Amino acid sequence: MQLIFLGTSAGRPTRSRNVTSIALSLPEPHCGFWLFDAGEGTQHRMLGSKLKLNKLERIFVTHLHGDHIYGLPGLLSSRSYFEGAGPLTIYGPPGIRSYLEQTFELTGVHLGYELHIVEIAEGEVAADERYLVEAAALEHRLPCFGYRITERPQSGQLNLKRLAELGVPAGPLFGKLKRGEDVTLECGTTISAADVVGQPHPGRVVTILGDTRPCENAVKLACSADLLVHEATFAGGLEEKAAAYGHSTFTQAAEIAKAANAKRLVVTHFSSRYDDEEVAELANGAKAIFERIEPAVEMAEINVPRLPLTNS
């Protein structure tokens, strides 16, 4: 799993930072990616990355402020020009359907693929055999959500040497054993999956929050996350100003990560008043609260490595 920050600026773009968008690249066998928010210019940023719109599978919108959604209509329209662009699902707060459908109607857009729009509430948002996505409401000036992406545990590796010793033929029986099912050979011998399958790989958890004041749901969504992405619009000491606009400071983001026992914190959504050097200094100053804090860098790729095997 890998995050790519396509935009890290709050409110409006700057010369060095675009407005909010984060891509989550998925490992094999998916090899696709999901997008979290799409501020104006997101598709332009993608042109300078390895991301291709025909590999985009899902878009999760945190809220309907323009710096998080104004890039959606153009991006969705351009996706029609990519060969192999399959169905796409957009998840977002109530109003996202009306925004997109009216935009398409007024501008005469006809998409060349199937688009599904899901207006979400708190709880489970999406699920498949590999991932679970949950949402909870945050505290902002508009209805806003944060997302918790949980990778399901992956089964361990087959012990091919032991399988050969036991006389298990390659084929469907391998699949059953890998799924944890015991099998019986033609000779009547029963093979226990626990004897020939290694330890499972625990899944990873990535939490991506929208704009928010510090709140209880931010801590819940980020609980023990391998990576937390939290906004840090203002410098520590400007908590009153941050609260008035529904935002957080670098200090508050670090406090949320600490309270949630997150393993790593990447802050983003920086006010245009701060240049890149000042952003780095502010993040460094928050390390007294949470050591593993780092500022998102425009177009930077953040790897979320697979956890080591659990002991049994």
Neighbours of 203 (CB within 10 A): 18
Contact 141, 62 (CB under 8 A): no
Backbone angles phi, psi at 215, to 5 degrees: -155, 165
Active site residue 37: no
Pairing of strands 205-208, 123-127: unpaired
**CA nearest to 215, candidates 272, 256, 263, 270:** 256
Give the span between the Cα atoms of 84 and 171, in whole angstroms: 31
Which residue among the candidates 67, 128, 226, 275 is catalytic per the annotation?
Answer: 67
68 is in an annotated binding site: yes
Q: What is the DSSP letter of 208?
A: E
Give the span between the Cα atoms of 221 and 219, in whole angstroms: 6
Give the span between the Cα atoms of 172 and 179, in whole angstroms: 11
30 is in an annotated binding site: no
Give Cα separations from 120 to 36, 124, 191, 198, 220 (angstroms). 14, 9, 45, 38, 18
**CA nearest to 36, candidates 13, 6, 11:** 6
Contact 19, 43 (CB under 8 A): no
65 is in an annotated binding site: yes
What six digits make up the tokens of 71?
């890039």
Beta strands in the chain (DSSP E): 2-7, 21-25, 33-36, 56-60, 88-92, 115-119, 123-127, 131-137, 145-151, 183-184, 190-191, 205-208, 227-231, 265-268, 293-295, 301-303
Contact 234, 242 (CB under 8 A): yes
275 is in an annotated binding site: no
140 is in an annotated binding site: yes
Give Cα separations from 91 to 36, 59, 126 (angstroms). 10, 6, 9
Catalytic residues: 67
Binding residues for Zn(2+): 63, 65, 67-68, 140, 211, 269
Binding residues: 63, 65, 67-68, 140, 211, 269
